[in-house]
Amino acid sequence: MVDIEDAGLALKRYFGYGAFRPGQEDLVKAVLGGRDCLGVMPTGAGKSICYQIPATLLDGLTIVISPLVSLMKDQVDGLEDAGIQASFVNSTQDMDEQALSLAQAAQGRSKILYVAPERLDAPRFRDFAQRTRISLLAVDEAHCVSQWGQDFRPSYLGIGDFIRSLPERPVVAAFTATATEKVRRDIVYMLGLNDPYVAVTGFDRPNLFFDVIKLETKDKNRWVARYALKHQDDSGIVYCATRKETEALADDLTKVGVSAVSYHAGMDAQARERAQRDFVNDKVQVVVATNAFGMGIDKSNVRYVIHHNMPESIEAYYQEAGRAGRDGEPARCSLLWNESDIVTRRRLLDMDNGNERLTGDQAEAVRAEHRRLLNVMIGYCRTTGCLHRYMLRYFGEEVDQAAAGLSPAEAGKGESIPVGHHDMNKEGKGEGDDHVGCRNCSNCLSTFETIDVSEVARAISRCVHDVNQGFGSGKIAQILRGSRSQDLLRRGLDRCPSYGSLSDIPEARIRDVLNQLASDGYLSITEGRLPMVHFGPKAAQTVSPDFHYEIKRVERPRALVAVEDQASGKVYGGAASSVAEEDGLDQAGASEAGPEDEELFQKLRDLRTSIAREIGKPPYIVFSDKTLRDMCRLRPTDDSTFLAVNGVGQHKLEQYGTRFMEVVAGFSSKSGTEAQEG
């Protein structure tokens, strides 16, 4: 029997990693010991290694079932580049190619074979499986077997049968990033896992900088453009809510010189495929996409993900934002939002009739659940506490309970997170301050001021009453401010009892409060071309004598503010400082690269790009950003130092070592001379 030491050696030899990450080692051990297992790990945690390493050590074949057909080629390319023989069979191949892949696997010339679940039913594949010794069956995205999840795939239901049909039962290892208990139970049951070893690893992604920015809709595109321009060399994804927005923003970005494409389900398959390829191959830097983008993306060097709108749930946000920084290097996840986004989301939700097969009651239950999820998302936008911690609490993870102010019982449950505006506000100032601060989210770097706006809120509500719910928010603000506009006077609105009652409050503040009142259900804003402000279900509370209402004002440190200030057209008054400093990443304790390292990094990156073009594979498959960074640090000029670089295995050394070491040597001698001359 192989033991865990062999696994460690294989990890170094093929992947160039010095140690397993949390969770990996025990899962590998379980598989090698012949035990079924279930790995629940977030995206980027390194699930693949858990079956790829055993695959290199086990006698027979490892079959990997994955729904992501578009990813298989990249995965196989990556394995072959690491020196592990692998192949795939799927619908993108013709019959001959499929036969070739199967023959190769049957003869033991592939250690790993990727297949889509639909394949398991094909007679030819069944026949192959009867004749081939299969040691391990790995089920990726295992939550697709559960009807509770969003990604249910009927074809996953056939996996259990397939396993039972095999002459010799292989070890079965299932992997997912979905954390809920229900889904987990389904996986064990539906796949027929046999007393599985279950590993659940941390959902925190410490290399991600989480950032929440409240920004008016009209300022958002400009913000994104500035950001993308400042990070021209970085890969980024921008998520928008609608197809139209993706196209408009991609256009805006292209106009200012950012290399960007849009991606959404309305584009034809070819155009989508091209956009995805170009992004993966670093030919374009930015994809502006709807949530249709990302499932089939394994690109490890995405340096930022910007949400142009608030997503519908924390799960969705965590999944989409989590596509940043899979290589473990610092990356940034920015969420742009405003109160009217909330109003729009709520409206979409109310209109959603979802599945036609549902009865009225069922549909309402589904909507109620979606509302709950949305409320938690809104809480994320409004919280003044640590954003990392907010998410972890949502996923029900053990966190520092004393600091988080939760009882142990509560901390274990995802449901226990307070929802809705007021609960989260309570968490605000007090608790936001008493935690130590992760230094890696905008809230932990900012200070907050809570402003009592009860009077403003009451006046707005009174004004809506005065005008009989017959005007939009612009007019209401004008009336309250006592505007002398012709239109207003002509309509006699200056005779309203509330006319001029907020003359000393800036219009932006009035609008802010009005929008927040709408998203909290005190008011509601109608649809259509001329949206009007009506009363919401909680309107009556605003006239109660103990009605109290607050908004939050954020004071972001200069380092964080710079980019936004520029985006909203204000002049940034400081001396030019480095990009890293301005976007707060350095402050977050992220990158420590000096200018010289940066220059070498660029050179190594250029070499990576040319090699990728030569071999026709994505650059990140040659080496990840993390590996290049480590190369800058170690500056290897001999084989053993090169092997010590994180992510360099034996096969990579043989393939690329000479060329990368040449660049390092050339650079070091040049900078050495300059130092002497200087």
Instruction: Report the alpha-carbon distance of residue 207 to residue 203 in Å, rounded.
Output: 12
**Of the candidate residues 28, 32, 36, 47, the single one contacting ligand ADP (CB under 6 A):** 47
Backbone angles phi, psi at 273, to 5 degrees: -60, -45
In the complex with ligand ADP, which residue's Cβ is closer, 509 or 605?
605
E strand or H helix at 447:
strand 447-452
Report, in Å, the least distance between residue 326 CB and ligand ADP: 5
Stretch that binds ligand ADP, among 36-44, 204-212, 339-347, 529-537 (CB under 6 A): 36-44
Q: Is residue 453 helix, strand or coil?
A: coil
21 binds ligand ADP (CB under 6 A): yes
Positions 615 through 674 that interact with ligand ADP (CB under 6 A): 624
Residue of the chain from 300, 319, 473, 515 that contacts ligand ADP (CB under 6 A): 300
Which has the closest alpha carbon to 523: 346, 293, 283, 310?
346
Interface residue with ligand ADP, options 7, 10, 14, 20 (CB under 6 A): 20
Residue whose entry in the numeric block shows the structure tokens 């301050």: 433
Give the residue with the Cβ less far from ligand ADP, 421 or 617: 617
The closest residue (CB) to ligand ADP is 46
Helices (H), 175-334: 181-191, 217-230, 243-255, 269-280, 314-321
> CB within 8 A of 17, min separation 6: which ones?
11, 49, 646, 647
- Residue 647 CB, nearest approach to ligand ADP (Å): 7
Q: How far is the CB of 442 from ligand ADP (least distance, A)?
A: 25
Nearer to ligand ADP (CB atom), residue 8 or residue 420: 8
Nearer to ligand ADP, 327 or 397 (CB): 327
Q: Least distance to ligand ADP from the beta carbon of 618, Å?
A: 12
253 to each of 228, 238, 285, 337, 557, how far by Cα in Å? 8, 11, 11, 19, 27
CA distances from 514 to 331, 384, 465, 471, 508 (A): 35, 21, 14, 13, 10
Tell me whether residue 45 or residue 188 sits nearer to ligand ADP (CB atom). 45
| 114 contacts ligand ADP (rule: CB under 6 A) | no
Q: Which stretch binds ligand ADP (CB under 6 A): 38-46, 378-386, 418-426, 486-494?
A: 38-46
Label residue 204 left, alpha or beta by phi (over 0 means left) and psi (-120 to 50 means alpha): beta
Size of site (CB under 6 A) for ligand ADP: 16
* Least gap, CB of 559 to ligand ADP (angstroms): 29
Question: Of 11 and 539, which has the nearer Cβ to ligand ADP?
Answer: 11
How far apart (Å, rounded) are the C-alpha atoms in residues 416 and 445?
A: 26
Q: Quick one: CA torsion of 521, 525, 527, 531, rounded to 10 degrees? A: 180
Q: Rounded to whole angstroms, how far apart are CA atoms 353 and 356?
A: 7
Helix (H, G, I), strand (E, B) or coil at 578: coil
Among the listed residues 17, 210, 223, 642, the single contact to ligand ADP using CB under 6 A: 17
46 binding ligand ADP? (CB under 6 A): yes
Instruction: CB nearer to ligand ADP: give 49 or 173.
Output: 49
For the CB of residue 202, give the shortest distance to ligand ADP in the complex, in Å: 12
Q: Which region, judged by CB under 6 A, interacts with ligand ADP, from 45-53, 186-194, 201-209, 448-456? A: 45-53
Stretch that binds ligand ADP, among 17-25, 199-207, 285-293, 337-345 (CB under 6 A): 17-25
Least distance CB 554 / ligand ADP (angstroms) = 32
In DSSP terms, 236 is beta-bridged to: 286, 304
For ligand ADP, the closer of residues 304 and 620 by Cβ is 620
Q: Quick check: 432 binds ligand ADP (CB under 6 A)?
A: no
Nearer to ligand ADP by Cβ, of 25 and 427: the residue is 25
Of 7, 23, 26, 48, the one binding ligand ADP by CB under 6 A: 48
Q: Which helix (H) or strand (E) holds 106?
A: helix 95-106
Q: Contact, 605 vs 628, CB < 8 A?
A: yes
> Helices 158-165 and 123-131: crossing angle, nearest 10°?
40
Binding residue for ligand ADP (CB under 6 A) from 37, 38, 40, 44?
A: 44
- End-to-end CA distance of the chain, in Å? 60
Yes or no: say if 176 and 143 are a contact pair by the CB < 8 Å rule.
Answer: yes
Q: What helix, strand, coil percent values describe the chain, rounded to 5? A: 50, 15, 35
Residue closer to ligand ADP, measured from CB, 199 or 288: 199
Contact between 205 and ligand ADP (CB under 6 A)? no
d(CA 678, CA 675): 5
Chain positions 303 to 362 lying near ligand ADP, rule: CB under 6 A, are 326-327
Binding status of residue 43 toward ligand ADP by CB under 6 A: yes
Q: Could you tell me if 18 and 12 are in contact, meaning their C-beta atoms sit under 8 angstroms apart?
A: yes
Contact 410, 350 (CB under 8 A): no
- Between CA 269 and CA 275 the distance in angstroms is 10
Structure tokens at 136: 């391990």
CA distance 496 to 480: 9
Choose one: 16-24, 231-239, 422-430, 541-549; the region binding ligand ADP (CB under 6 A). Answer: 16-24
Stretch that binds ligand ADP, among 41-49, 122-130, 471-479, 559-567 (CB under 6 A): 41-49
What is the smallest separation between the CB atom of 588 and ligand ADP, expressed in angstroms?
Answer: 20
Which residue, 17 or 293, has its beta carbon nearer to ligand ADP? 17
Q: Does 41 bind ligand ADP (CB under 6 A)?
A: yes
Rounded Cα–Cα distance for residues 367 and 312 (Å):
12
Where do contacts with ligand ADP occur on this chain (CB under 6 A)? 17, 20-21, 24, 41, 43-49, 300, 326-327, 624
